Amino acid sequence: MIFFMNNTVVTGQLICEGEEQLAAVVVHLPRHFELTRAEPGCLSFEVTQTLDPMVWDVSERFADAASFKLHQARVRASEWGHATAGIKRNYSVAG
């Protein structure tokens, strides 16, 4: 996979600790997908459930740091952000 120097790339996992957290992801993820993919600067956005249903692989790519920061701000204020705030995230950010 080739990434341009300006891109901000996020990879990692979203790790649910119980059925309530899992339900929050399942209920709110479709709208989160829709809103994130519509953001200016979002080049790719994938969240996929692993063989362990409590763990989700996350892969995001934004055109630059500014578009990623706008994404983070939108997420914090969104239903997704509020509903999943307590879920463990193990992410790395490059770029």
pLDDT tens for each residue of the chain, 95 residues long: 444 568 999 999 999 999 999 999 999 999 999 999 999 999 999 999 999 999 999 999 999 999 999 999 999 999 999 999 999 999 999 98
Is 2 within the bounds of a domain?
A: no
Query: Measured between alpha carbons, how far apart are the two ends of the chain, in Å?
Result: 15
| 1 assigned to some structural domain | no
21, part of any domain: no
CATH number of the domain residue 83 falls in: 3.30.70.100
Q: What are the structure tokens assigned to 45, written together?
A: 């956005």
In a domain? residue 59: yes
In a domain, 54, yes or no: yes
Q: What is the pTM of this model?
A: 0.89
Strand, coil or helix: 40: coil
C-alpha neighbours within 13 Å on the C-beta side of residue 69: 4
**Does any domain span residue 58?**
yes
As for how many domains the chain has, the answer is 1
Q: Whole domain around residue 56: which residue ranges?
A: 8-16+34-94
